[in-house]
Amino acid sequence: SAVISQKPSRDICQRGTSLTIQCQVDSQVTMMFWYRQQPGQSLTLIATANQGSEATYESGFVIDKFPISRPNLTFSTLTVSNMSPEDSSIYLCSFLAGGGETQYFGPGTRLLVL
Amino acid sequence: KQEVTQIPAALSVPEGENLVLNCSFTDSAIYNLQWFRQDPGKGLTSLLLIQSSQREQTSGRLNASLDKSSGRSTLYIAASQPGDSATYLCAFSGSARQLTFGSGTQLTVLP
Which residues of chain B have a CB within 8 Å of the CB of A94? 44, 99
Statement: residue A90 has pLDDT above 90: yes
Q: When comparing pLDDT for A101 and A71, which is higher?
A: A71
Q: How far apart are CA A113 and CA B18, in angstroms?
A: 41
Distance from CA of B97 to the nearest CA of A (A): 8
Which conformational region is residue A11 in: left (phi greater than 0), alpha (psi within -120 to 50 degrees), or beta?
beta
Catalogue the long-range contacts made by B48-52 (C-beta closer than 8 Å, 24 or more residues apart). B48/B75, B49/A101, B49/A102, B51/A101
**How distant, in Å, are the alpha carbons of A18, A31, A47, A72, B97 from that of A53?**
23, 11, 12, 11, 17
DSSP structure class, residue A58 = P
Q: Would the pLDDT of A114 be above 70? A: yes
Q: How confident is the model at residue A105 (pLDDT cuts 50, 70, 90)?
A: very high
Q: Is residue A73 over pLDDT 70? A: yes
Is B64 near chain A, with CB under 8 Å?
A: no
A79: CB partners within 8 A, 6+ apart: A18, A19, A20, A21, A66, A67, A68
What residues contact residue A61 under an 8 Å CB cut-off, 6+ apart? A46, A47
Q: Test B89 with A101 for CB contact under 8 angstroms.
A: no
Decide if pLDDT at A94 tops 90: yes
A92:B96 CB<8 A: no
Average pLDDT over every residue of A55-76: 94
Q: Give pLDDT, residue A53.
A: 83
Among the partner-chain residues B42, B46, B103, the one whose CB lies closest to the CB of A103 is: B46
Q: Which one of A45, A96, A105 has the shortest CB-CB distance to B44?
A: A105
> How would you write the pLDDT of chain B (111 residues) with one tens digit per residue?
778 999 999 999 999 999 999 999 888 778 899 999 999 878 899 999 998 889 999 999 999 999 988 999 999 999 999 999 999 999 998 888 889 999 999 999 999
Region of poorest pLDDT, from A39-43, A56-60, B29-33:
B29-33
Residue A1 — very low, low, confident or very high, per pLDDT cuts 50/70/90?
low
Encoded amino acid at B52, one letter: S
Mapped onto helix, strand or coil, the DSSP state of residue B61 is coil
Give the CA distances from residue A87 to residues A109, B18, B54, in Å, rounded to whole numbers and listed in that order.
12, 39, 38
Q: Tell me the H-state helices in chain B.
A: none
Q: What is the per-residue pLDDT for A98?
A: 63
